């Protein structure tokens, strides 16, 4: 990416990024502005060998507020690409299991990705609508706190069936490449993207639906940068359901006693990265008697769930997660709704070590439970 001298000069006189950064609040020595100064002004080559480079969540809270319009997450991503050449790599969460699974998918392998769907609903090998499931089948298998990621996929398929859509789901789908890209492994990202584009062409899909915000933004924003304009429509299922459910003739049951007050966690990728704030809320509003109480930091001001790309899960991450869970409880909500599998996993994991009693529910499972 290009950052002009004028942008850098403006940056040095500002500091909005550091004041906005959730990592800077937990690690006082960390500053996006200082990282830019060290790399671009001081020509400090030690940055590429530092652990600070991996602290950024790439949550875009800084860049969304930056008066100089500097894309700090992209700046960080490019630095990480260079850091790998210096043999500076991040601390991997979960013993690197998820990274290993993603890397394996760059090869010629045989997967049974659709076995779960055979019991869940109706789908096909080819069709106009492809449901890109993402890594949900692997999350449930690999993680102690999988947060029912596969249950999410199951309920998305059921909801699609309820509105008359029998999507294609493919055994040849691969990891979207999000984590590889943001960890500085562009080579693996390109391999995964190429295999997925080949798969989608074989399916013949005109519209590709994503329930994972990271998969969605990877296809919506990142893959076109490397492969050009995509020959199919990219939609997040919250957009799709908010548009299609109201006219589908479905009847919603009133909110149950324990679920009448909820709050909603805006995922960084779905919110700040893609600008999708209202569709998830519009879907929740279809449930009679449901009260949505917003946390103080919501929509573009929402706070990250604490980790990204399965790297650097630290005390800093846990502190951020605990703060976020406390904010949710203070709204009076009994349920925290998420639209991102990683938000659900990270917040559920953090809650296990507290005395907080808060249900953490996937948006689509919650909605399906309230349909007659």
Cα–Cα distance measured from residue 238 to residue 267, given in angstroms and rounded to the nearest whole number: 12
Average pLDDT of span 265-289: 96
58 and 162 assigned to the same domain: no
Region 254-262: mean pLDDT is 86
Total domains in the chain come to 3
C-alpha 312/C-alpha 92 separation (Å) is 6
Q: CATH number of the domain at 166, please.
A: 3.40.50
- 111 and 199 in a common domain: yes
Quote the domain boundaries for residue 257: 250-369
Same domain, 122 and 215: yes
pLDDT above 90: percentage of residues in the chain: 69
- The 10 Å CB-count burial string (b at 16+, else e) for 161-191 is ebeebebbbbebbbbbbbbbbbbbbbebbbb
Residue 146 pLDDT greater than 60, yes or no: no
Q: What is the pLDDT of residue 147?
A: 61
Backbone φ/ψ region at 335: left (φ over 0), alpha (ψ -120 to 50), beta: beta
Quickly state the pLDDT bin for 94 (edges 50, 70, 90): confident
Domain end marker among 17, 51, 85: 85
Reported as a pLDDT band with limits 50, 70 and 90, residue 72 is very high
Same domain, 143 and 254: no
Report whether pLDDT(329) > 90: yes
Question: What are the tens digits of pLDDT across the range 330-343?
Answer: 999 999 999 999 99
Distance CA 320, CA 299 (A): 17
pLDDT category of residue 145 using cuts at 50, 70 and 90: low
The answer on 100 and 40 residing in a single domain is no
Task: Indicate if 148 and 199 belong to the same structural domain.
Answer: yes
Q: What CATH number has the domain bearing residue 344?
A: 3.40.50.1860
Whole-angstrom distance, CA of residue 322 vs CA of residue 144? 19
Tell me if residue 106 falls in helix, strand or coil.
coil
Whether the CB-CB separation of 47 and 79 falls below 8 Å is answered with yes
| Tens of pLDDT, residues 161-180 | 999 999 999 999 999 999 99
**Which region among 48-57, 92-101, 188-197, 232-241 has the lowest average model confidence (pLDDT)?**
92-101
Same domain, 222 and 270: no
Q: Label residue 116 by pLDDT band (50, 70, 90).
A: very high
Regarding whether 257 and 183 lie in a shared domain, the answer is: no
Q: What is the pLDDT of residue 148?
A: 63
* Across 91-113, average pLDDT: 87
User: pTM surpassing 0.85?
Assistant: yes
Do 218 and 128 lie in one domain? The reply is yes
142 pLDDT more than 80? no
Last residue of a domain, one of 85, 111, 127: 85
> Are 114 and 217 within one domain?
yes
State the average pLDDT for the chain. 92
pLDDT band at residue 298, thresholds of 50, 70 and 90?
A: very high
- Asked if residue 216 and residue 137 are part of one domain, the reply reads yes
Over 80: is that where the pLDDT of 49 sits?
yes
The pLDDT of residue 297 = 95
Question: What's residue 70's pLDDT?
Answer: 92
The domain boundary, picked from 85, 115, 147, lies at 85
């Amino acid at each position: 990416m290009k950052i002009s001298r004028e942008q850098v000069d403006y940056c040095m006189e500002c500091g909005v990024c550091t004041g906005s950064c959730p990592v800077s609040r937990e690690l006082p020595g960390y500053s996006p502005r200082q990282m830019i100064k060290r790399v671009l002004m001081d020509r400090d080559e030690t940055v590429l060998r530092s652990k600070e480079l991996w602290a950024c969540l790439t949550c875009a809270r800084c860049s969304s507020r930056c008066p100089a319009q500097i894309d700090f997450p992209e700046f960080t991503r490019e630095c990480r690409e260079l850091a790998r050449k210096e043999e500076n790599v991040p601390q991997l969460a979960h013993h690197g299991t998820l990274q290993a699974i993603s890397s394996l998918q760059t090869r010629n392998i045989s997967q049974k990705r659709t076995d779960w769907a055979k019991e869940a609903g109706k789908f096909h090998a080819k069709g106009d609508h492809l449901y890109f499931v993402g890594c949900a089948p692997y999350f449930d298998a690999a993680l102690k706190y999988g947060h029912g990621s596969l249950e999410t996929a199951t309920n998305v398929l059921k909801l699609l069936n309820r509105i008359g859509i029998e999507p294609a789901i493919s055994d040849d789908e691969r990891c979207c490449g999000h984590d590889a890209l943001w960890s500085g492994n562009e080579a693996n990202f390109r391999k995964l993207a190429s295999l997925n584009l080949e798969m989608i062409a074989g399916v013949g899909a005109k519209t590709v639906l994503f329930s994972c915000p990271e998969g969605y933004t990877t296809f919506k924003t990142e893959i076109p940068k490397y492969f050009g304009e995509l020959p199919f429509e990219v939609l997040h299922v919250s957009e799709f359901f908010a548009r299609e459910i109201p006219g589908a003739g479905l009847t919603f049951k009133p909110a149950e006693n324990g679920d009448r007050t909820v709050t909603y966690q805006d995922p960084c990728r779905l919110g700040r990265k893609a600008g999708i704030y209202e569709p998830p809320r519009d879907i929740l509003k279809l449930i009679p008697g449901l009260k949505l109480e917003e946390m103080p930091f919501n929509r573009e001001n929402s706070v990250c769930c604490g980790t990204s790309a399965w790297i650097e899960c630290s005390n800093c991450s846990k502190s951020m997660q605990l703060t976020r869970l406390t904010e949710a409880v203070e709204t009076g909500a009994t349920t925290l709704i998420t639209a991102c599998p990683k938000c659900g996993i990270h917040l559920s994991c953090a809650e296990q070590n507290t005395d907080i009693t808060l249900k953490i529910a996937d948006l689509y499972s919650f909605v399906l439970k309230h349909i007659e």
